[in-house]
Amino acid sequence: MKNAALFIVDVQNDFLPGGALAVPRGDEVIAPINRLQEKFELVLASKDWHPATTKHFEKWPPHCIRGTYGAKFPESLNISSIQKVFLKGTGVSDDGYSAFEATNDDLESYLKIRGISKLYVVGLATDYCVLATAVKAAENGFEVYVVKDAVRAVNLQPGDEDKAFEKMKQNGVQIISLEEV
């Protein structure tokens, strides 16, 4: 697809069943994400990449501590096409939900330099990092699509997933199915 990139948010062991901050049915995003990658010339990803001590862990159980197994991509995710991984949540006080807060590279300029105007967002979790990344991308002027079959929510409160989709729509993000990509 021309001028488009697939952006895989935080598909890491700690967010999968059995992980430190398991997203219910989080593993179900992997097969559709593997399939989708073939359609894109540019595939990018983010990782939640926390220090061992951070204010973020006052809100959440410790997860995705940089360099640990929990922060790794799962074996079942095809990573051979991922051209760059953006590391976020790297500070001791910020949540870093949005991939545009990555500290190893600037995502906005990375995309703009390469002429990317459309961003297809998939991964975990719908109500946190997918939400923050998709809304920020729309604010930054990208045409943003979230593929609903390839995202899953934490749902700390029942309904958080629906609220997240609503918020994305209000911000101009289009929610589409796998077949619509």
Which tokens go with 44? 């990018």
Q: What is the footprint of ligand VGL within residues 91-130 (CB under 6 A)?
A: 124-125, 128-129
| 173/13 Cα distance (integer angstroms) | 27
Q: Is 146 within 8 Å of 174 (Cβ atoms)?
A: yes
Site for ligand VGL in 129-148 (CB under 6 A): 129
> Minimum Å distance from CB 41 to ligand VGL?
25
14 binds Zn ion (CB under 5 A): no
Binding mask 35-54 for Zn ion (x = CB under 5 A): -------------x------
Q: Is 161 in the site for ligand VGL (CB under 6 A)?
A: no
101 binds Zn ion (CB under 5 A): no
- Between CA 5 and CA 143 the distance in angstroms is 11
| Partner interacting with residue 42 (select from ligand VGL, Zn ion, none; CB below 5-8 Å by kind) | none
Tell me the residue nearest to Zn ion as measured from the CB: 48
The answer to whether residues 124 and 151 touch, using CB atoms and an 8 Å cutoff, is yes
Amino acid of residue 152: R
Count CB-CB contacts under 10 A for residue 66.
15
Cβ distance to Zn ion smaller for residue 40 or 57: 57
Q: For residue 44, what are the β-bridge partners?
A: 7, 84
Q: Which of the residues are catalytic?
A: 10, 88, 129
**Would you say how long the chain is, in residues?**
181
**Cα–Cα dist 67/49, whole Å:** 8
Decide whether 67 or 115 has the Cβ nearer to Zn ion.
67
Q: Which tokens belong to 85? A: 């991984």
**Do 83 and 44 touch, CB atoms closer than 8 A?**
yes
Which 25-64 positions form the footprint of ligand VGL (CB under 6 A)?
A: 48, 60
The answer to the question of residue 11 lying near ligand VGL (CB under 6 A) is no
Residues that bind ligand VGL (CB under 6 A): 10, 48, 60, 124-125, 128-129
Residues that bind Zn ion (CB under 5 A): 48, 89
